[in-house]
């Protein structure tokens, strides 16, 4: 639905619902039964249903033709993936499987003029009840075990800025800056079970206060291109990344000594890219030549 209480104020509301159903048929690990018609049937698990939904609300207020502000919020409940519902080979379900939830807020400002366009926004996103599973093998017996890690929470929040300026004819300057703080917020305790759902041990996961890995949480970019009147264009862009913590498995942080020990923070780096292109007409056809060079200075990162 879209609503306009006033000429300068727009509200957009959307929602959806879904049902995800899982059932496992195992034709290898169970004795087959034969129907009267001679068909072999594998053992079939129960069916497990997970209701999911999302809703979001976006509101825009146009102060005038040059300035606007906006506020967005949303809530998302997502069904767990199949491997969380059936984490081991037999048809034994994880009865503790539950939906993962996300709640998000965003507040922003937009500027639009003939020579400059820009956006500034702050965001706060909470990831709730993230589920991880970990498989183990008993080295003595060779039997499989699994840990069902539920209830992990994380916060992703930060500031984002982007702009595009055209100070003189033919010249365009583009830039962006993103400063994030993405952190796991709690420790959890999980149970370790065998493939018959017997609890054999517990697993503590110590991740509270650790930064989320495998993505640069601070990034920036600045570039410019100039287009000559006769079809030649040259461009140059620098991309910067920092606060890139190494990827790690939270379930491996299972010792009290792991408390507060951040993953390796990779050194910050900048890569410079550039290129040149030329567009022209040839016997009634539009042709273009383009040459790009990525990482001009061969930066090792």
pLDDT of 140-177, one tens digit each? 777 778 787 888 999 999 999 999 999 999 999 999 99
> Is the predicted pLDDT of residue 232 greater than 90, yes or no?
yes
Average pLDDT over residues 1-11: 94
Average pLDDT over residues 228-241: 96
Average pLDDT over residues 217-229: 97
Average pLDDT over residues 209-216: 95
CB 87 within 8 A of CB 146: yes
> Is the predicted pLDDT of residue 214 greater than 80, yes or no?
yes
> Is the predicted pLDDT of residue 38 greater than 90, yes or no?
no
> Is the predicted pLDDT of residue 115 greater than 60, yes or no?
yes
Within 10 angstroms of residue 126's Cβ, the number of other Cβ atoms is 16
Report residue 37's pLDDT band, with 50, 70 and 90 as the boundaries: low
Exposure pattern of 31-68 as b/e (b: 16+ CB <10 Å)?
eeeeeeeeeeeebebeebebebeeeeebbbebeeeeeb
Average pLDDT over residues 283-295: 94
Query: Nearest CA to 245 among 185, 182, 300, 152?
Result: 182
Within 10 angstroms of residue 186's Cβ, the number of other Cβ atoms is 13
When the pLDDT of each residue in the chain is averaged and rounded to a whole number, the result is: 90
> What is the gyration radius of the CA atoms in the chain, in angstroms?
27
> Is the predicted pLDDT of residue 124 greater than 90, yes or no?
yes
> Is the predicted pLDDT of residue 104 greater than 90, yes or no?
yes
CB 209 within 8 A of CB 196: no
Give the Å distances, CA to CA, from 254 to 189, 207, 290, 301. Answer: 9, 9, 52, 30
Give the per-residue pLDDT at 40.
Answer: 53
CB 263 within 8 A of CB 249: no
Give the Å distances, CA to CA, from 70 to 2, 58, 106, 125, 201. Answer: 15, 7, 8, 16, 49
Give the per-residue pLDDT at 91.
Answer: 80
Is 237 exposed, middle or buried, given 0-12, 13-18 or 19+ CB atoms closer than 10 A? Answer: middle
Report residue 90's pLDDT band, with 50, 70 and 90 as the boundaries: confident
pLDDT digit string, tens, across residues 238-266: 999 999 999 998 888 989 999 999 999 99
Give the per-residue pLDDT at 150.
Answer: 84
Report CA torsion sign: 99, 82, 201, 90: positive
Q: d(Cα 289, Cα 277) in Å, to the nearest integer? A: 5
Write down the pTM of the prediction. Answer: 0.84
- Non-local CB neighbours of 25 within 8 Å, separated by 6+ positions: 42, 43, 44, 45
Decide which of 112 and 150 is more confident: 112
CA within 13 Å, CB half, 10: 10
């Amino acid at each position: 639905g879209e609503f306009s209480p006033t000429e300068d104020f727009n509200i957009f509301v959307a929602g959806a619902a879904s049902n995800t159903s899982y059932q496992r048929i195992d034709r290898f690990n169970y004795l087959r039964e034969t129907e009267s018609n001679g068909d072999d049937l594998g053992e079939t698990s129960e069916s497990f249903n997970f209701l999911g939904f999302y809703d979001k609300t976006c509101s825009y207020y146009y102060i005038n033709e040059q300035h606007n502000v906006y506020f967005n919020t949303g809530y998302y409940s997502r069904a767990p993936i199949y491997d969380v519902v059936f984490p081991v080979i037999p048809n034994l379900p994880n009865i503790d499987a539950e939906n993962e939830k996300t709640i998000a807020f965003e507040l922003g400002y937009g500027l639009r003029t003939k020579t400059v366009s820009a956006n500034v926004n702050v965001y706060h996103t909470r990831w709730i009840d993230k589920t991880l599973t970990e498989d183990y093998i008993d080295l003595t017996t060779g039997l499989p075990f699994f840990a069902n890690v539920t209830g992990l929470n994380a916060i992703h929040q930060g500031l984002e800025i982007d702009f595009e300026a055209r100070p003189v004819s033919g010249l365009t300057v583009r830039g962006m800056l993103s400063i994030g703080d993405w952190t796991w917020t709690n420790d959890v305790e999980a149970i370790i079970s065998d493939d018959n759902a017997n609890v054999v041990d517990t697993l503590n996961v110590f991740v509270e206060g650790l930064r989320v890995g495998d993505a640069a949480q601070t990034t920036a970019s600045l570039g410019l291109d100039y287009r000559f009147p006769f079809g030649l264009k040259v461009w140059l862009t620098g991309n910067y990344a920092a606060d890139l913590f190494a990827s790690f498995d939270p379930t491996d942080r299972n010792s009290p000594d792991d408390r507060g020990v951040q993953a390796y923070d990779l050194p910050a780096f900048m890569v410079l890219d550039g290129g040149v292109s030329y567009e022209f007409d040839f016997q009634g056809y539009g042709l273009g030549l383009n040459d790009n060079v990525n990482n001009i200075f061969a930066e090792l990162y």
